[in-house]
A and B are shown apart, each in its own frame.
Chain A
Amino acid sequence: MTATRRFLPGWLSSYATLYILFLYLPVIFLPIFSVNTAATPKFPLSGVTLHWYEDLPKTPALIDATWNSLIVGVSASILSTVLGILAARSITRYRYPGRRAINGLIMAPLVLPEVIVAISMLLVMLQLGLSLSLFTVVLGHVLVCIPYSMTVLTSGFEGFDRSLEEASADLGESAFGTFRRVTLPMVAPAIISSLLVCFTISLDEFIIAFFLTGTEATLPIYIWGQLRFAAKLPGVLALGTLLLLASFVLMTIAEILRRRAARRTQNEGGLYA
């Protein structure tokens, strides 16, 4: 029995290492083949070049797509974080009938097939006579970003010591003043973390943008369009590598901030719960 006990963690940890490899390996091929001289992604590499990266800024369609993605990402992250702050604050601070049901509805986009969410929104937008544009993409992205924003913010708001706010109110601060001078500084890391998470999701999101955009492409839509041409693959891989890098950096910062926020309010869990 003791043998099994010593044995098991060993097996499990090698399994865990293999699993991490399985998670990362496919993604690692993108950067590898983005520096390959040949257009087809096969081993052995025919040579190393940064040529594909150098070509990226010379593609006007790509520059446009980048700008579109930035505009959509910034607007969607701000909007969904504002809506997320209101909802997370309400969920963690107040008790009222229907609270769980409302929370469930707000979190629902997380578990619904994206295609169906996208198509439903498309139908309504067309019926309302909205013409498809980056604005409709932002509307869609906000809907799918709110659940993530809520998760990050709830972990920052929960376990928040209410007596600090009460003390501030007792000392004569107004409700808004208390929020701005006591609550906000405590939850600022969670808010920034939410902004980064939402921006990353919006930057990478494809399905909703695909259905709800008019003629303007975001970066994933640009990539989708390029995938049809085998010769364009290395450029797509180079762009993909840059996007991966951006997601990685943004999410690492977001996670560090989220942990700092959770520590400030002495609360465990968070993104994982």
Chain B
Amino acid sequence: MTVAAEGSPPLRMAGARRNPLLQSEAVQGFALISPTFVYALILLVLPILVVIAHSFWTQNYLTIDHTFTLENYRIALTEPIYRDLLWRSLYISLTVSLLTVALAYPIAYFISFHGGRHKSLWLFLITIPFWTSYLLRVMSWKVILGYNGVLNSGLMGLGIISEPSDALLYNSSAVIITLTHAWATFAILPIFVSLEKVDRTLVEAATDLGDGPLRSFLRVTLPLSAPGVISAALIVMIPTVGDYVTPKLVGGKDGVMIANAIQAQFGKASNWPLGAALSVTTMIIASLMAGATVLVIRALQRLAR
């Protein structure tokens, strides 16, 4: 509560012009949220600042040299391995986001417009797999795609292939399939929420004015659900850029992503500043890509209208 007291003076000053009731409301509200706020400051903001600070330092064996340098960023951006890993991570994450959104949209549309009284049952069915362990979901793909796995033995049993294919597992396609499956539900929910907000009378109006179902969908429903598409794309894109488990389990040599390199810098390679610079670079580039995606979707939305 001392923290709340520290935080309240500026608020009190800001609220001084307003009536006393409002002022005490603001102070109470801020005091109530401050423990959670401070927790997020200490365990999220402070750590990220420490990472940013480290990215400008260097490491000599076990001691950190605190002189400012951009050397880590030079390595992160120009060293071929890191550049390739970063590109691959961006490519995989972009592909996965496009796939999940494209696959999820019809489902969200179906539930929102044709779900009827089973709407909540559909939503429940779709959210349940999302609550199961991510690690287990990735593991099940290893079981499916493996050399001695479900798909290979199934295809052999059906006589489609004569010997197991090793092309299924340990490459970037395996990573893309697994991630698309793992993030599927994340994309459905935001799209569903924005479709629910689409004013049905607008769709009817478009139909009354002579638009066919496809035209009214393209010109009314789709543009109006763009916010949901944007948040779905972002929710999938940013975390998948930094995914660690999937490339490690099903990616093999050709599916390694930037997070694996970052982890190595904090583990075996033990070069914290380089790992920090790689993390910061990944975050910045992922945010840029996310920003570009938002702009593209908005432009398409204007075009459709």
Contacts and interface: CB of A to CB of B under 8 A. Distances in A.
A41 B131 contact: no
B133 interface: yes
A123 B272 contact: yes
A67 interface: no
Most B Cβ at <10 Å: residue of A99, A113, A142, A203: A113
A87 B36 contact: yes
A271 B45 CA distance: 26
A115 B140 contact: no
B56 interface: no
B140 A27 contact: yes
Contacts of B154: 43
Interface in A20-46: 20, 22-24, 26-27, 29-30, 33, 40-44
Contact of A19 (B103, B149, B262): B103
B114 A111 contact: no
A1 interface: yes
A23 B181 CA distance: 7
A220 B137 CA distance: 12
A74 interface: no
Interface in B21-68: 22, 25-30, 32-33, 35-37, 39-41, 43-48, 50-51, 54
Interface string A238-273: 001001100110011001000100000000010111
A94 interface: yes
A95 B24 CA distance: 10
Given A94-B29, A95-B29, A96-B29, A29 B140 contact: yes
Interface residues of A, number: 91
A45 to B, nearest CB: 10
B117 to A, nearest CB: 14
Contacts of A201: 131
Interface stretch (A5-13, A164-172, A182-190): A5-13
B228 to A, nearest CB: 11
Contact of B157 (A5, A27, A43, A94): A43
The A contact surface, by secondary structure, is helix
Contact of A97 (B14, B28, B134, B212): B14
B111 interface: yes
Contacts of A139: 43
Contact of B36 (A16, A84, A99, A247): A84
A139 B40 CA distance: 11
A26 B134 CA distance: 12
Interface stretch (B76-84, B118-126, B294-302): B118-126
Given A111-B235, A244-B136, A4 B181 contact: no
Interface string A34-68: 00000011111000000000000000000000000
Interface in B189-235: 189, 192-193, 212-214, 234-235
A91 B33 CA distance: 8
Interface in A99-129: 99, 102, 105-106, 108-117, 119-124, 127
Nearest to A110: B235
Contacts of A240: 133, 136, 139
Contact of A247 (B11, B111, B132, B212): B132
A46 B242 CA distance: 39
A255 B150 CA distance: 33
A124 B47 contact: yes
A106 B193 contact: no
B276 A123 contact: yes
A223 B262 contact: no
Given A43-B154, A143-B44, A272 B193 contact: yes
Contacts of B107: 15-16, 19
B135 interface: yes
A105 B129 CA distance: 27
Interface string A119-158: 1111110010000000000011011001000000000000
B148 interface: yes
Contact of B127 (A41, A94, A120, A272): A272
Given A83-B35, A119-B262, A143-B39, A27 B144 contact: no
B133 A26 contact: no
A116 B282 contact: yes
Contacts of A143: 39-40, 43-44
B75 interface: no
A20 B125 contact: yes
A29 B136 contact: no
A43 B153 contact: yes
A90 B33 contact: yes
21 contacts: A1-B213, A12-B114, A13-B114, A19-B107, A43-B150, A43-B154, A95-B26, A105-B41, A112-B239, A113-B241, A113-B243, A115-B263, A119-B262, A119-B263, A121-B47, A124-B50, A139-B43, A142-B39, A206-B134, A227-B139, A236-B139
